[in-house]
Structure 1
Amino acid sequence: MRRTGLRAIVLAATTLVSGLAAAQTAVQPVRIGLIMPLTGGSAGTGNSALVGAEVAVQEINEVGGYLGRPLELVIRDDKGAPDEGLKIAQELVLKQKVTATIGFCNTGVAMKALDVFQSNKSLLIVSCSTGTEITAKYPAESSYIFRTAAPDRLQTQFLVDEIVKRGLSKVALLVDNSGYGDAGLKDLEAALAHAGLKPHAVVRFKVGVQNLDEEMKQLKASGADSLVGWTVGPESGVISAARANAGWKVPQFGPWALSHAAAFETSGGKVEGAMMVQTVLPNPFMDRNSAFLRSYAKLSKESPIGSMMSAAQSYDSVHLLLRSMFDARGDLSGPSLKRALENPTTTYRGVVTTYERAFSPADHDAISANMLWLGTWRHGERAYVYKDDERRATVIRRKEIKAAAAGE
């Protein structure tokens, strides 16, 4: 978002609260929790999310913060471990008493911590984790859990639609045996059934595996005409390396994790040509996209970025939270921020897309099916599979409102 636009919003919103109230709180920062895996197997994704959030906070503070109060990130490392994520969530909500929290890249970690936010009416915006159940655990009308990442139920249907469009029907599934894999397999089977298909072959494997050559040989021998690998970043790279080692030329598809730098690195570049679901890709035709990447590069020199998606979605999450704070008119309690997020008064021009209404009382997922792109690895960077999509992305894909919310 252009800083001039942000400055205008900040100045206009300031008039909603009395000068006296603003002066009384001017020296107190607004503390926002950030829980990400900054070490461990998902560290690349978590650190990208951190940098994305830091870019947003820096921009906001440069134009006055929230009514003169700077935003401050209270950063914690969940290490990709559910028990650690739970402990940190309790600390931030119960002891640190943060205004709201942005976090989680691992579905298993998020699921274990959700009750902490819900039971204490403390706002959580999930900017990375994609497990379908995250925003399904509680009814939206009473939930304090929001998300700016694409749910797996959308990702799996998107991939199956692409597979069917290509005339493929013998789909092999190579899925890890974690909770993320279990849920992903369920969503994949449902998406295939919706298309009148069944998995041609299914093979499971353990997270942390270093070689999948034998599993790949088994799937190749099955006669499948396409491969969907469902796992996290590093293991997505192991799948690509095994497919290359087997000389199996069928198309490889995967969730957003296939776009993580860890997949590229683990595969030794053999992810080239593999296809994955994306909410955002580097796009020189889009000013807000390019500006974000330039700001990101000032804080981090990683190449390629660990995860552009987690970075951009975390950046947008901070800005959406800021707008809800202004709409809350000085009441930064969980219930007030929840209502404000569900009923925004302004449009937010973000990196992923332009949000007229990211959330509603009936829908706490910011991403809808029409906002997804098919990405690939090309020459060591993420790119659109279809070149036309790169230009079509300049036409804003506005969120599809759920039928239940349309009549509000």
Structure 2
Amino acid sequence: MIARLWFTVFCLLAAGTAIAQETPAAPPPPAGMAALRVGVIGPFSGPSADFGVPMLNGVRLAVDEINAVGGYLGRRIELVVKDDEATPPVGLARSQELAKEGVVATIGFCNTGVAMASLDVFQSHKIPLIVPCAAGSPVTAKFPPDESYVFRVAARDGIQAAFVVDDLVKRGWTRVAVFADTTAYGESGLADVRAALSARKLEPAYVARFPLGVTDLSAPLKAARAAGAQVIFSYTVGKENAVIALSRDTLRWNVPLVGGWPLSFPFFIQGAGASAEGALMAQTFIAEPSNERRSSFLAAYARKFNTRRIPVPMAAAQAYDAVYILLYSLFAIRTGEVTGPVLKAALEDLPRTYYGVVATYERPFSPSEKDAITPSMMVLGQVRKGAVTFAYPEDARRNLFVQRKK
């Protein structure tokens, strides 16, 4: 029985098959076969729930599909879900709970500051952590790569910043004003933008720092305009992106707003309304059915969660792929004895290519590389009529083919 279930899982997943319908609950595992416990941690309540909940839903969708065809060697995957409330102390406490509850791996974190406060827990307990959202560059740089248990299926800010800066230079926008909040995310993002500009022998025309919760940024915007800025590069994860756009329009300063993936969040698009129109941002996944894998994923998500629109599609898609990458790594553990070091080694040498929603993952990780996403997988998104679409027609055409790591 177990062998037959395992064969079913292996054939379906190795072929890259997505189950694009609501799957029934799987039967319990055979007697004596305990469920495989996997942690999930993120902001499932509070202001960051806009992307925390889609992340959780992406995980749940993948796990339900996997359990419906037998789980791992006949063992169901059981999720242990923890809400970090987007608060570093809470995230640390919830991470410690996951370690005590015996999870074999964890998928999680949306906020860079929360992740940074909790990484030591997973590293010290040798629990592989796969980060599907938190983009701060320091997240996968805290520990030496060959020793690190921290993996990521999201474009780190160093990649996003360089990707957007390259586009700005092509457009002739070389005088860049950087608006970054004072969180760990804003701090690391500002450093990445500076580095990306420096690589082009440029420096910011103006830099503004502000705390979360600010409601008016007219003064620093006036200063940026006086400095001759041609474009505003924002690095904040919440409502402050909308504040930048609204304050800019109040000043009647007609310059573009660009940034990382938070410019695709509802906080910005809905909060800024018409002022969000035309904003440009780095994306790994745009919720358009550009190929069979993405169509299948979007249809399955819509059916399971009864929604026509995913608030933050990248969070859901990257989390979904993270679960399957984790499962594929388990393929290398034929004995069923899953330990942290063994699972880490399997993640670093994925035995089979996973044809994912965001990308095709052939060797997403290695002992020296803990980030799965590369610039070749990025596209430029743009807000048009209240939704995110491709900024360039050629990106839409290229997106017919899921990109590989280069």
TM over 0.5, yes or no? yes
The equivalent of 2:92 in structure 1 is 86
RMSD across aligned C-alpha pairs, in angstroms? 1.9
Question: Number of residues paired by the alignment?
Answer: 386
Alignment of structure 1 residues 7-46 onto 2, 5 Å: 8-9=11-12, 23=30, 25-26=32-33, 28-46=34-52
CA contact (8 A) 1:32 1:100 kept: yes
Q: Aligned equivalents of 1:123 and 1:103: distance in 2?
A: 11
1:344 Cα deviation after fit: 1.2
1:300 Cα deviation after fit: 2.8
Residue identity opposite 2:41 in structure 1: I
Residue identity opposite 1:62 in structure 2: A
CA contact (8 A) 2:41 2:82 kept: yes
Inter-CA distance 269–5: structure 2 relative to 1 (3 Å threshold) = farther
1:229 Cα deviation after fit: 0.8
Q: 2:166 aligns with which of 161, 170, 175?
A: 161
Alignment of structure 1 residues 201-280 onto 2, 5 Å: 201-280=206-285
The equivalent of 2:388 in structure 1 is 382
CA contact (8 A) 1:135 1:365 kept: yes
Q: Aligned equivalents of 1:262 and 1:301: distance in 2?
A: 21
SS of 2:285's equivalent in the other structure is: coil
Q: Aligned equivalents of 2:147 and 2:307: distance in 1?
A: 40
Q: Aligned equivalents of 1:158 and 1:31: distance in 2?
A: 37
Q: Aligned equivalents of 2:363 and 2:372: distance in 1?
A: 8
Q: Aligned equivalents of 1:364 and 1:60: distance in 2?
A: 24
SS of 2:276's equivalent in the other structure is: coil
CA contact (8 A) 2:180 2:235 kept: yes
**Cα-to-partner distance string for 1:189-241 (whole Å, 9 max, x where unaligned):** 11111101010011111112223233323322322111101110322222222
**Cα-to-partner distance string for 1:119-169 (whole Å, 9 max, x where unaligned):** 111110011001111111111111100000111111111111111111121
1:397 Cα deviation after fit: 2.1
1:69 Cα deviation after fit: 1.4
1:9 Cα deviation after fit: 4.8
The equivalent of 1:19 in structure 2 is none
Which of 47-56 and 226-235 deviates more? 226-235
The equivalent of 2:26 in structure 1 is none
1:6 Cα deviation after fit: 5.2
SS of 2:287's equivalent in the other structure is: coil
The equivalent of 1:403 in structure 2 is none
Inter-CA distance 23–306: structure 2 relative to 1 (3 Å threshold) = same
Inter-CA distance 169–82: structure 2 relative to 1 (3 Å threshold) = same
The equivalent of 2:24 in structure 1 is none
Alignment of structure 1 residues 125-144 onto 2, 5 Å: 125-144=130-149
Does residue 148 of structure 1 match 2:153? Answer: yes
Q: 2:376 aligns with which of 352, 367, 370?
A: 370
The equivalent of 1:328 in structure 2 is 333
Q: Aligned equivalents of 1:114 and 1:31: distance in 2?
A: 19
Q: Aligned equivalents of 1:230 and 1:294: distance in 2?
A: 32
Does residue 314 of structure 1 match 2:319? Answer: yes
Q: Aligned equivalents of 1:201 and 1:276: distance in 2?
A: 20
SS of 1:125's equivalent in the other structure is: strand
1:243 Cα deviation after fit: 2.1
Does residue 115 of structure 1 match 2:120? Answer: yes
The equivalent of 1:99 in structure 2 is 104
Q: 1:294 aligns with which of 276, 290, 299?
A: 299
Which of 84-93 and 68-77 deviates more? 68-77
Q: 1:360 aligns with which of 362, 366, 374?
A: 366
Residue identity opposite 1:152 in structure 2: D
Residue identity opposite 2:160 in structure 1: Q
Query: TM-score of the superposition, structure 2-length normalised?
Result: 0.91
Does residue 283 of structure 1 match 2:288? Answer: yes
The equivalent of 1:405 in structure 2 is none
Report the identity percentage: 46
Structure 2 spans left out of the alignment, 5+ residues: 1-6, 16-28
Inter-CA distance 10–238: structure 2 relative to 1 (3 Å threshold) = same
1:115 Cα deviation after fit: 0.4
1:87 Cα deviation after fit: 0.3
1:99 Cα deviation after fit: 1.2
Query: TM-score of the superposition, structure 1-length normalised?
Result: 0.91
1:25 Cα deviation after fit: 4.3
Which of 246-255 and 189-198 deviates more? 246-255
CA contact (8 A) 1:10 1:66 kept: no
CA contact (8 A) 1:10 1:67 kept: no
Q: Aligned equivalents of 2:222 and 2:69: distance in 1?
A: 57
Structure 1 spans left out of the alignment, 5+ residues: 13-21, 401-408
The equivalent of 2:186 in structure 1 is 181
SS of 2:396's equivalent in the other structure is: helix
**Cα-to-partner distance string for 1:23-51 (whole Å, 9 max, x where unaligned):** 5543x221110001011221111001011
The equivalent of 1:66 in structure 2 is 72
Inter-CA distance 390–46: structure 2 relative to 1 (3 Å threshold) = same
